[in-house]
Structure 1
Amino acid sequence: MFQTTAYSGEKVKDYEMLLKQLTALTEDENDVIANLSNASALLNQFLHDVNWVGFYLWKEDQLVLGPFQGLPACLRIDYGKGVCGTAISTGESQVVEDVTKFPGHIACDSASKSEIVIPLKVNGEIFGVLDIDSPSTNRFDETDREYLEKFGKIVEGFGK
């Protein structure tokens, strides 16, 4: 029913299908963790050349590891620290071409070379972040940012 594959060569069209699949997959479920779990699995199946896809949730003034796909990860990230903490502190998506050049990068997996982080808010308050790592440098582009932000807007609805 929810078949996804890596990009077919029509990246925008593929992302549009991904957004529809996320909406259909989560529309009748109200549990945040269940929806985040399926959202991370869906992204992991859809995206090519990634080695970690998941969520950190804002709790007790820190980002705390949430549902994800990939190797074990850092459990907590402080506000303003690393790429995830920077996305929260600035309120802006972070697209990092080469994590070794990002000041204060937190290396949970030494195989990660590039990263994209989308901040998530619910009712104007920090909810968490969507974090995706790749073993290749310069993996994420403007189209990825645009559509992963749209993906994030759907995810924000899980927390309402």
Structure 2
Amino acid sequence: MVFETLKPQIISITTNTKKATNERLFAICKLLENQIVYYNWVGFYFRNGDKEELILGPYVGEPTEHTIIPFGKGICGQVAVSNKNFVVPDVSAQDNYIACSITVKAEIVIPIFVNGKNIGQIDIDSNTPDPFSEKDEHFLEFVCNEVSKIL
């Protein structure tokens, strides 16, 4: 399974202290987008200080105008409030979806916790309808756990 082969690479990236945190986050985005065929946009959003909003961090994929997302708005904003994974098999069926691209068919967002506090998330868009499984969720939880160690 591709996820198992990627785990050591994720650890290698996060433990590389010669690179800045944002460089490591960008490397994770590139790795995931390159190695998982249905991951078409991979990025991180982080809480913007004490504000009730997320700010875009490192990402790969089509440029997005959604650099700031208020809590509660869109899938990412909902995860900032709920503190729970959110898997969207069909974005067109979501009332509170913020469209980044007309090609996006599905999305998965997994929160990142540091000391029990939701400080951000990994956001992945797919141009493939309903591609995400529990294996994606578990793998991305692993990724977020590793990322939390460098934040």
Q: TM-score, normalised by structure 1?
A: 0.87
Q: Deviations over 1:45-99 (max 9, x none)?
A: 1111232111111113211111000011111111111111111211111110000
The count of corresponding residues between Structure 1 and Structure 2 is 147
Deviation beyond 6 Å, 4+ runs, structure 1: none
Question: Conserved in 2, the CA contact under 8 Å of 1:55 and 1:65?
Answer: yes
For 1:25 and 1:114, locate their aligned partners in 2 and report how far apart those are by CA, in whole Å: 27
Q: Deviations over 1:98-133 (max 9, x none)?
A: 001112100011110100000111122222110000
Partner of 2:40: 51
Which structure 2 segments of 5+ residues have no match? none
Moved more, 21-30 or 46-55: 21-30
Does 2:135 correspond to 1:135? no
For 2:103 and 2:9, locate their aligned partners in 1 and report how far apart those are by CA, in whole Å: 29
Provide the secondary structure at the position in 2 that maps to 1:158. Answer: coil
Q: Deviations over 1:127-150 (max 9, x none)?
A: 211000011110111111111111
Provide the identity percentage. Answer: 35
For 1:26 and 1:154, locate their aligned partners in 2 and report how far apart those are by CA, in whole Å: 7
Provide the secondary structure at the position in 2 that maps to 1:23. Answer: helix
Question: Conserved in 1, the CA contact under 8 Å of 2:14 and 2:147?
Answer: no
Question: What's the CA shift for 1:25?
Answer: 2.2
Which structure 1 segments of 5+ residues have no match? 1-10
Does 2:52 correspond to 1:64? no
Question: Conserved in 2, the CA contact under 8 Å of 1:31 and 1:158?
Answer: no
Amino acid at match of 2:110: I
